[in-house]
Amino acid sequence: MKDKAFIDTNVLVYLYSEDEAEKQALAYDAIEKYDCITSTQVLNEFSNVCIKKLGTPIEVISKSIDEIVAACLVTLVDEEVIKKALALHGKYGYSYYDCLVLASALSYNCKYLLTEDLRDKQVIEKNLKITNIFSH
C-alpha cells in the first residue's frame, strides 16, 4: 500500500511544464510513487497559473484536469476544512490559502504534502510532513 500524499499546485504545474524537464520528471515520479490526493482549490489554482502565467489553451488545461482527476482523488473544500485552515493559520502562520491546502491534506490523513512553497520537512499536527520533492 502506498503512502498518501497531497499534491500542491506547483507539483501539478511542473508535471505539465515544458521548460523544466528535471522538475517534470520528479513530479511524474511522485505521482507514481504515492496514493495522490489533491483538492478543487488546487485544481483552480493550477488552472489560473496555466491561463495567466503559461498562456496554456483552455482545451489543453481541460485535458490536463481530466488526467489529474484520473491520477488523484480530488477533495472538496468544505466548512470543516475552512475552519481547520483558520486554526492552522493561527498556529503556524502560513497564508490562509496554504492553510487550506494543509487542512485538506490533514482531513484525508495524508502522510506527506508535496510542495515547494512551505518549509521542507516541517511536520504539521504531528501527522503531515511537508516535503519539497524538488530540493533533494
Q: How far apart are CA 22 and CA 18, in angstroms?
A: 10
Per-residue pLDDT of 103-127, as tens digits, reads 999 999 999 999 998 999 999 999 9
- pLDDT, residue 19, reads 87
Against a cut of 0.85, is the pTM above it? Answer: yes
Name the band, by pLDDT with cuts 50, 70 and 90, for residue 77: very high
121 Rama sector, left if φ>0, alpha if ψ -120 to 50, beta otherwise? left
Per-residue pLDDT of 79-105, as tens digits, reads 999 999 999 999 999 999 999 999 999
Whether 34 is covered by a domain: the verdict is: yes
Name the band, by pLDDT with cuts 50, 70 and 90, for residue 44: very high
CATH number at residue 105: 3.40.50.1010
Whether 13 is covered by a domain: the verdict is: yes
Residues in the chain: 136
The range of the structural domain enclosing residue 66 comes to: 4-131
The H or E element containing residue 38 is strand 35-39
- pLDDT, residue 105, reads 98
User: How is the beta sheet containing 128-131 ordered, strand by strand?
Assistant: 73-75, 35-39, 4-7, 112-114, 128-131, 123-124
- pLDDT, residue 18, reads 83
pLDDT of 52 higher than 80 = yes
Tally of domains within the chain: 1
The H or E element containing residue 123 is strand 123-124
**Neighbour tally for 30: CB within 10 Å:** 20
Name the band, by pLDDT with cuts 50, 70 and 90, for residue 1: confident
Whether 136 is covered by a domain: the verdict is: no
- pLDDT, residue 136, reads 62
User: 39 Cβ partners below 8 Å, 6+ apart?
Assistant: 6, 74, 75, 76, 77, 100, 101, 104
Whether 29 is covered by a domain: the verdict is: yes
Are 47 and 65 a contacting pair, CB within 8 Å? yes
